[in-house]
Amino acid sequence: MARVPVADWSSDWDHLDPAWVVDPYPIWQQLRETCPVAHTTRYRGVYFPTRYGDIRDVAYDPERFSSRRVVIREGDYRVNSPPITSDPPEHRPMRMALIPPFTPQAVAKLEPQTRILCNELIDRIIGQRHCDAAVDYAQHIPVRLIAHMLGIPAEQGDQFRTWIKMALQDGITNQAALKQAEEEISAYFAEQITKRRGDGPGDDLVSFLIKARLPDGEPFSDRQVLGALRLLLVAGIDTTWSAIGSSIWHLATHPGDRERLVREPDLIPGAIEEFLRAYAPVTMAREVVEDGELGGCPMRKGEMVLLSFPSANRDPEKFSDAGEVRIDRKENPHVAFGLGIHRCIGSNLARMEMRVALEEWLKRIPDFELDSTRPMTWSEGTVRGPRLLPITIAPR
């Protein structure tokens, strides 16, 4: 169904508006200068702070801004996915339980396999003049890795991506799609849990969560384990796929940066931080717990706040030349992985996937550009990244 066009970005914004989906940065810049805490009555009322300082204040104040709802939606269907949907004191036990598999040491063990996987994908592309860097490359990398970690078959990648789109994108306006995705993912993981209990747990993440204990020595409830597994599937795939895709999109449209990274691959880790800053994929939300104010703007209990880490990363008060992508930026305290108690658990994994994906791509496909004769599309809603990314590859 066609959406009502935005009448005024400061009082009627809509993150599903085509102008926002394609290029939100000028809209945010204008709001930062004229109305730093915007509002919309859509989605039953949502505030939209655009300045780094206001976004930081919301993220660091879980007492006033609750995570019991972290996605703005039409309708009131609520999803339980701890730790991301829980507040203190419930938040900590599940967060602590999830940290060990995502430490730098644990992630380093996955690097050789990631390199092999990237090269297998490139093998299928190499020799062709055209490919889609999102469809043929970026989307497969996080699916395969998280499926491996969870001990579930990566061949079901299409199914996982369909569920994630239903939950994160379609679910914003279509409660039935969200509910269906949640039920199907839960049924899928319930089966996996039963299987592990029958066969005896292995060394995958499903087994790890079954064996995890609360501080009092009790196991997590099945509802908590299922919620955490749903979160890992959703948080681990779309996000990293989007980050890899945006990085390749940048290089396909900025030949100077592409040539420099080919010549100086040691710059890749720093360039990745800059791509994470400039094209941060994840925007979360919070529920306002009590009447109050933010940045001088009154806030009403029960409404939501869009927590735009991507907008914080573009604030010129915090970053010099915030609107420019400088792949050799020295100081880069970006907040693409969030701030405060919910800061991303998977950041080491995501960074490793992005680095290996770019290193292997640039080694074997150093010369490429955006194919402007075919459509290029961006996802909408909670996670932003290219979904169609047509590329023309120069013959070698």
Binding range to ligand HEM, per CB under 6 A, among 32-40, 119-127, 229-237, 263-271: 229-237
- The single residue among 346, 381, 385, 390 that binds ligand HEM, judged by CB under 6 A, is 346
Cβ distance to ligand HEM smaller for residue 147 or 391:
147
Q: How many CB atoms lie within 10 A of CB 124?
A: 12
Cis? peptide before 83, omega within 30° of 0: yes
Cβ distance to ligand HEM smaller for residue 82 or 393:
82
- Using CB under 6 A as the binding rule, whether residue 65 contacts ligand HEM is answered as no
Q: How many CB atoms lie within 10 A of CB 128?
A: 11
- Using CB under 6 A as the binding rule, whether residue 72 contacts ligand HEM is answered as no
Binding range to ligand HEM, per CB under 6 A, among 110-118, 213-221, 239-247, 296-304: 239-247
> How far is 299 from 287, CA to CA, in rounded Å?
11
- Using CB under 6 A as the binding rule, whether residue 52 contacts ligand HEM is answered as no
- Using CB under 6 A as the binding rule, whether residue 143 contacts ligand HEM is answered as no
In whole angstroms, the minimum distance from the beta carbon of 105 to ligand HEM comes to 16
- The single residue among 167, 288, 350, 370 that binds ligand HEM, judged by CB under 6 A, is 350
Looking at this protein, which amino acid is placed at residue 310?
P
The residues with which 212 forms a beta bridge, in sequence order, are none
Q: How many CB atoms lie within 10 A of CB 375?
A: 8
DSSP string, 90-138: THHHHHHHHSGGGSHHHHHTTHHHHHHHHHHHHHHHTT-SEEEIIIIII
> How far is 57 from 63, CA to CA, in rounded Å?
11
- Using CB under 6 A as the binding rule, whether residue 224 contacts ligand HEM is answered as no
Cβ distance to ligand HEM smaller for residue 207 or 239:
239
- Using CB under 6 A as the binding rule, whether residue 131 contacts ligand HEM is answered as no
CA distances from 119 to 137, 140, 180 (A): 10, 12, 35
- The counts of H helices and E strands in the chain are 16, 12
| Ramachandran area for residue 321 (φ above 0: left; ψ -120 to 50: alpha; else beta) | left
- Using CB under 6 A as the binding rule, whether residue 189 contacts ligand HEM is answered as no
Binding track over 282-311 against ligand HEM, x by CB under 6 A: x-x------------------------x--
> How far is 76 from 352, CA to CA, in rounded Å?
36
- The single residue among 236, 381, 385, 386 that binds ligand HEM, judged by CB under 6 A, is 236
Binding range to ligand HEM, per CB under 6 A, among 42-50, 155-163, 195-203, 336-344: 336-344
Phi/psi for 360 (5° steps) reads -70, -40
Strand ranges in 202-335 using DSSP code E only, listed in sequence order: 284-288, 292-294, 297-299, 304-307
- The single residue among 45, 344, 366, 369 that binds ligand HEM, judged by CB under 6 A, is 344
- The single residue among 139, 239, 247, 311 that binds ligand HEM, judged by CB under 6 A, is 239
Binding range to ligand HEM, per CB under 6 A, among 184-192, 238-246, 315-323, 368-376: 238-246
- Using CB under 6 A as the binding rule, whether residue 338 contacts ligand HEM is answered as yes
> How far is 32 from 52, CA to CA, in rounded Å?
10
Binding range to ligand HEM, per CB under 6 A, among 18-26, 193-201, 215-223, 346-354: 346-354
> How far is 167 from 228, CA to CA, in rounded Å?
15
Binding track over 97-126 against ligand HEM, x by CB under 6 A: -x----------------------------
Q: Residue numbers of the site for ligand HEM (CB under 6 A)?
A: 59, 67, 70, 83-84, 95, 98, 146, 231-232, 235-236, 239-240, 243, 281-282, 284, 309, 336-338, 342, 344-346, 349-350
